[in-house]
Amino acid sequence: MYRPGPQFLIFQNIEQIFKEQAGNVMATLAEKWIEEGIQQGIREMLYEAISSKFGAVPGDISEEIKKIENRETLRDLLRQAILSETLDTFREALKKI
């Protein structure tokens, strides 16, 4: 009767672990990409709100917005852009984040 050697069993275990973890890795990557897409969409709406209300988006504001990764923070800034009377008011709100 054939009995696999220890090296074969180790390889089999590694293969099984990889198969189990690959599904988790792909789900995690998909979730990350979805979140990044949502963040980018909110950023684009934020840029549109600022440029529609105040003209071109200044470079310093654009750079600060690019650094923000929290979806709720981006949404709060979008609301602030809509409600701010001046670009300086929005800039102050951005500094508080």
Q: What are the structural domain ranges in the chain?
A: 29-95
Average pLDDT value for residue range 32-41: 92
Query: What is this structure's pTM?
Result: 0.71
Tokens 């008011």 found at: 89
Per-residue pLDDT tens digits for 17-31: 666 666 666 668 888
Q: Comparing 86 with 6, which gets the higher pLDDT?
A: 86
Give the 3-state secondary structure of the chain. Answer: CCCCCHHHHHHHHHHHHHHHHHHHHHHHHHHHHHHHHHHHHHHHHHHHHHHHHHCCCCHHHHHHHHHCCCHHHHHHHHHHHHHCCCHHHHHHHHHCC
- Tokens 């789900």 belong to which residue? 27
Question: Looking at the predicted structure, is the pLDDT value of residue 1 above 60?
Answer: no
